[in-house]
Structure 1
Amino acid sequence: MAPKNNALIPCSIPSLFLSLGLFCVLPLSIFFLLQSTHQQTSCSSPFLTFSQKIPQNPNQSIRVYVADLPRSLNYGLLGKYWSLSDDSRLGSDVDNDIRSTVSSKGKLEFPPYPENPLIKQYSAEYWILGDLMTPEELRTGSFAKRVFDVNEADVVFVPFFATLSAEMQLGMAKGAFRKKVGNEDYERQKEVVDLIRGTDAWKRSGGRDHVFVLTDPVAMWHVKAEIAPAVLLVVDFGGWYRLDLKASSDNTSDMIQHTQVSLLKDVIVPYTHLLPRLHLSENQDRITLLYFKGAKHRHRGGLVREKLWDLLVNEPGVVMEEGFPNATGREQSIKGMRTSEFCLHPAGDTPTSCRLFDAVLSLCIPVIVSDNIELPFEGMVDYSDFSVFVSVSDVLKPNWLLNHLRSFSKEQKDAFRRNMAHVQPIFEYDNGHPGGIGPVPPDGAVNHIWRKVHQKLPMIKEAIIREKRKSPGVSIPLRCHCT
């Protein structure tokens, strides 16, 4: 019969040594296992998009209602554009070719968007609406679910091609752009605002759950204050600063600077890239250290360009070209970006431009010189994994920038390019279908935009509820809690 206190029987000497051995070996095994795992992780690409880090719920989506606007404010406006024949600013060789093709086909339900780089760079409005207009059975990869009852919607999308409207006015009668009389763009802006603000949906939310695409900094220029409560899809905040500053200088006003735009309610979206995508497998030797093509003279924050130009133009390993990627400049830009290690991205009239996204699609490491820049999809993308950020104060020191760029090793530059190859798809709008009607790439720009809008929903709902509790006749200062 076994003794009742067998748990207290002392161990034999061999058993004791065996236990001590296991006690020593086990921690070492765990250490080497963890070390091996860490090394494997370190050897893999350091960049992962947000969607790769956190599994997405396949059933999650944002419910979007498309506001009822006349066709003349979107696809009809495209028809009007293609009917133009004698405007030098709007016309380009490639658009003239398309124009003849479009006219030969008669009236198209979904006309193509202009290829003219002045307009194409702002084409987000076209691709977002094209996704929503695609038959539901084809929209299996879209993060946005279109609903046809406004009461079921998370947000209301306003299908106005605001950028195309503005650019057509600038091309046809630039002198009238800032006026209201004789300005067709203003008439369209006013029509949109009158129609949208008169709906029950706007009155119920104060417009806070409405979404406008304003990629051109001058889009809806005359009515910005009236649509300010809405979610604005913008390429940056550069076009709003002076307007806000003017409001804040009025001592009798409750408005303070940046009352109309905020990272909390608005979404920064990419420009449409103008250069074709270079895949990592196609990358070749890069013989130039730093490349820039663009206008030398800019205004406001873009004054740094002229100073940089004077510092860099005669330096070995640097190419500074003046111009824009039109028919001739496009080929120069393709060659310049694909044969250069780094591509300079200084601020222009606004903090950013399509040049940044052309660089990423060309696997040319962006060198961002813009202290006030805001970037698309931050929180989903870490730009420091594939870009070099430098302050204006540092970059204007003689020799500082080139010495800094030369300090990057080949391994570091190769890692930047691998990371760029990972993020290239999220900056692409084109879905490859005529008229933009067809399924969007699940990892493309349109879906990432809707995911960012989806992140705003709790704030939108809170703002709407807070507004409801106000007593009649009570007003509160218009403030923006900016980050």
Structure 2
Amino acid sequence: MLPISDHSSPEKPKTPTKSLDRKNSNSFSFSYIQTLIYHPRSCLILLILILQILIIYASLSLPISSFSLHRSLPAEITTVSLNSTELCPNGKVYIYDIPESFNKEFLYKCKELSPWGSRCGTFSNNGLGKKFTAVANVVPKSVVNAWYRTDQFALEIIFHDRMVNYKCRTNEPGLATAFYIPFYAGLAVGKYLWSSNYTAKDRDYHCEMILKWVQEQPYWNRSNGWDHFISMGRITWDFRRTKDGDWGSKCIYLPGMRNITRLLIERNSWDYFDVGVPYPTGFHPSSANEVKIWQDFVNGRRRRTLYCFAGATRGFIKNDFRGLLLRQCYADSEKCSVVNCGGSKCSNDTAAILETFLNSDFCLQPRGDSFTRRSIFDCMIAGSIPVFFWKRTAYYQYEWFLPDEPMSYSVFIDRNEVENGTSIRSVLEKFSEEEVKKMRAKVVEYIPKLVYAKPNKGLNDGMKDAFDIAVEGVLKRVKEQEGGYKW
């Protein structure tokens, strides 16, 4: 812009001017034009003022989104942009569009996932499995359609389906707080675990390839993986092989996996990047109202037995603790109910376990083949109070999903005390009716956090399920991690 002169006005023109006649518009226009022509300083000031007014007017007329740094946002992103902080206070998630050979292709070839037969029915309905019709005479009719024969290893399929429709998903990686890798790690290694025909290289192949693919993406270098996460549908020990001849893959020990947060049904309690999330159960409510109906049902259930145990012995284990629990329970049949799961008696299509949990105040939860077992969540969803014998079975596993105070919802009896003759019945009978009622209320309160909702958009009325808790937890820790991306 040219500077305005500080010198005196130019000399008046010699040409005579007409007087201003306000009633004559032509006379006014001619005189006004003359003023502009012969007084350039006044003209420049006027033009500057007009330009400023036009700029202010234009800025007030433009929509807010016009000032965005990302002017070509997808419709779904533009819709929530005005309230993104309110809708997604912890940030948004970007889903990598990985090759189908790392996820969907496993489902296309579901007949090859197990040496014992097809898994197509098991992983149908986006991982929920087939309808659980056997519970029709056990659960209220209003929620019978919320029950499925869900496999305990279906987490990564269920999680992926929910993530695709997550309210805080973004299609713009530059807007993302965290990055989700939809790799089906459990299915990728599962088919190789039970046959000697496969090598350690076979078990590692898919994990090595997906990590190579992810590390070639531009946003990996933003924080060297600190803001990336994955759901893995098996226990952590299936991915922690140290020697080629041992069980599982070495996926978690691969360098690229080091900083990635891993959502697992059982975690290594000493690994910060392992996060324990609930095993998938058969209950998948479609709304907050269905959850409330179920909570009222289990809270008001009349329970006929003091405690129960559902499980099978491990004959190949010396001094098998499960066998000890079964013997105590059988000997105390007046107060304890048993569901012996030897063989295939406790497959996902039987209602016997659910009915037993619904009828018992307490349910015994020893460790499974590993420290945890799905039965913990089957038990709690039925409103039964879990009894633990290893602290690593739950207390060091699912901190995001269970109450902070373990004794508010559970009972702990050290396994050594039981092995030395302590009667489980004597311990449980010391709790008053009021104490049992209070513990059950706490269990029932936490049911929403232990289930994975059926609709791919989750529950309504602000109720959060296990998926919501897990993803929000990841987003929060990404912002808190030292060395992570700083906004």
Shorter-chain TM-score range? 0.5 to 0.7
Measured in 1, the distance between the counterparts of 2:435 and 2:446 equals 17
**Bigger mean CA deviation after superposition, 321-330 or 59-68:** 321-330
**Bigger mean CA deviation after superposition, 298-307 or 388-397:** 298-307
Which residue number in structure 1 is paired with residue 295 of structure 2?
279
SS at match of 2:179: strand
Larger Rg: 2
Which residue number in structure 1 is paired with residue 231 of structure 2?
213
Instruction: Please give the per-residue CA displacement for 1:239-284, whole angstroms capped at 9, x wherever unaligned.
Output: x59xxxxxxxxxxxxxxxx5xx22xx43221001136885333543
Q: Is the 8 A contact 2:227 2:485 kept in 1?
A: no
Amino acid at match of 2:388: I
1:438 maps to 2:466 = no
Which residue number in structure 1 is paired with residue 360 of structure 2?
340
Gaps of 5+ in 1: 1-55, 100-109, 242-257, 467-483
Gaps of 5+ in 2: 1-84, 133-147, 240-247, 285-290
Amino acid at match of 1:449: A
The verdict on how the C-alpha distance between 1:77 and 1:119 changes in structure 2, with shifts beyond 3 A counting, is farther
1:390 maps to 2:413 = yes
Amino acid at match of 1:332: A
Q: Is the 8 A contact 2:365 2:388 kept in 1?
A: yes
The verdict on how the C-alpha distance between 1:196 and 1:189 changes in structure 2, with shifts beyond 3 A counting, is same
Match of 2:154 among 123, 126, 129: 123
Measured after TM superposition, the shift of residue 225 of structure 1 is 1.0
Instruction: Please give the per-residue CA displacement for 1:360-386, whole angstroms capped at 9, x wherever unaligned.
Output: 111111111113232324487334322
> What's the Cα RMSD here?
3.5
Q: Whose RCO is larger (CA < 8 A, sep 6+)?
A: 1
Which residue number in structure 1 is paired with residue 470 of structure 2?
449
Which residue number in structure 2 is paired with residue 164 of structure 1?
187
Measured after TM superposition, the shift of residue 151 of structure 1 is 3.0
Measured in 1, the distance between the counterparts of 2:380 and 2:232 equals 23
Measured in 2, the distance between the counterparts of 1:367 and 1:224 equals 31
Measured after TM superposition, the shift of residue 448 of structure 1 is 0.5
* Matches for 1:7-156 after TM superposition, within 5 Å: 59-81=88-110, 83=111, 88-91=116-119, 95=122, 112-114=127-129, 120-134=151-165, 139=166, 142=167, 145-156=168-179
Measured after TM superposition, the shift of residue 334 of structure 1 is 1.7
Identical columns (%): 18
TM-score of the aligned structures, taking structure 2 as reference length: 0.64
Match of 1:423 among 446, 450, 454: 446
Measured in 2, the distance between the counterparts of 1:156 and 1:270 equals 21
Q: Is the 8 A contact 2:281 2:377 kept in 1?
A: yes
The verdict on how the C-alpha distance between 1:439 and 1:302 changes in structure 2, with shifts beyond 3 A counting, is farther
**Bigger mean CA deviation after superposition, 146-155 or 111-120:** 111-120
Q: Is the 8 A contact 1:302 1:346 kept in 2?
A: no
Q: Is the 8 A contact 1:78 1:113 kept in 2?
A: no
Which residue number in structure 2 is paired with residue 179 of structure 1?
200
Measured in 1, the distance between the counterparts of 2:316 and 2:275 equals 25
Q: Is the 8 A contact 1:208 1:231 kept in 2?
A: yes
Q: Is the 8 A contact 2:307 2:363 kept in 1?
A: yes
Q: Is the 8 A contact 2:114 2:191 kept in 1?
A: no
Residues matched between the structures, number: 357
Q: Is the 8 A contact 1:232 1:267 kept in 2?
A: yes
Measured in 2, the distance between the counterparts of 1:162 and 1:412 equals 42
SS at match of 2:314: coil
Q: Is the 8 A contact 2:150 2:281 kept in 1?
A: no
Measured after TM superposition, the shift of residue 405 of structure 1 is 0.3
**Bigger mean CA deviation after superposition, 325-334 or 416-425:** 325-334
Amino acid at match of 1:76: E
Measured in 1, the distance between the counterparts of 2:119 and 2:182 equals 24
TM-score of the aligned structures, taking structure 1 as reference length: 0.65
Amino acid at match of 2:207: Q
SS at match of 2:476: helix
Measured after TM superposition, the shift of residue 147 of structure 1 is 2.0
The verdict on how the C-alpha distance between 1:112 and 1:379 changes in structure 2, with shifts beyond 3 A counting, is closer
1:375 maps to 2:406 = no
Match of 2:276 among 234, 256, 268: 268
Match of 1:314 among 299, 315, 331: 331
Measured in 1, the distance between the counterparts of 2:319 and 2:302 equals 31
SS at match of 2:364: strand
Instruction: Please give the per-residue CA displacement for 1:113-166, whole angstroms capped at 9, x wherever unaligned.
Output: 5459997213332232222212xxxx5xx4xx2122333222111101122233
